[in-house]
């Protein structure tokens, strides 16, 4: 089984911006049931279909498959809940880890979250200076929940 171990944090300031360039992501959710979410995503010219299980502490099952970008666009247009999630994702190497910073657009504009994937839930991590409060345990920051309750409506 594929597992994703991930921690999420709010981002402080703008000092992180000079460290990386971003890629535009557009994603939508076909299903956001508690036990599993089904997501469609387009990054550059590649589509992806992802199925994620429920989260227990920092871990959940994750299965991601590349699909033709035309299929992904059709699914986004016809099968996904609205609004779609729009964001720029920046990747920053810090210490021995890769941090992914999502700067949301659209109805989630103003929200910036940093995520880091770990190999073990107890793995120690060195936090960059631009990392703020941890929100790993707060489901309102899950992308699938930002569809139902966008950041600009909090």
Question: What is the tens place of the pLDDT at every residue in 47-105?
Answer: 999 999 987 888 989 999 999 999 999 999 999 999 999 999 999 999 899 999 999 99
Whether 94 is a known active-site residue: answer no
Token output for 81: 């809940």
Token output for 48: 């992806």
Place of tokens 């991930």: 6
d(CA 83, CA 150): 8
Place of tokens 């920051």: 141
Provide the 3-class DSSP secondary structure of residue 113.
Answer: strand
Per-domain residue ranges for the chain?
3-153
DSSP 146: H
Global confidence as pTM: 0.93
From 29, 58, 90, 94, the catalytic residue: 29
* CATH for 3-153 (2.40.320.10, 3.90.700.10, 2.40.40.20, 3.40.47.10): 2.40.320.10
| Beta partners for residue 42, in sequence order | 26, 47
Token output for 40: 């469609």
42 has pLDDT over 80: yes
């Amino acid at each position: 089984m594929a597992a994703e171990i991930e921690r999420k944090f709010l981002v402080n300031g703008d000092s992180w911006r000079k460290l990386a360039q971003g890629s535009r992501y557009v994603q939508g959710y076909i299903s956001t049931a508690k036990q599993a979410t089904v997501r469609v995503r387009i990054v550059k010219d590649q589509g992806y279909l992802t199925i994620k299980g429920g989260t227990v502490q920092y871990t959940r099952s994750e299965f991601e498959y590349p699909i033709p970008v035309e299929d992904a666009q059709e699914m986004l247009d016809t099968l996904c809940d609205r609004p779609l999630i729009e964001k720029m994702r920046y990747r920053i190497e810090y210490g021995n880890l890769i941090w992914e910073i999502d700067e949301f657009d659209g109805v989630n504009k103003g929200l910036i979250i940093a995520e880091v994937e770990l190999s073990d839930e107890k793995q120690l991590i060195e936090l960059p200076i631009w990392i703020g409060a941890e929100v790993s345990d707060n489901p309102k920051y899950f992308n699938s929940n930002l569809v139902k309750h966008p950041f600009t409506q909090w």
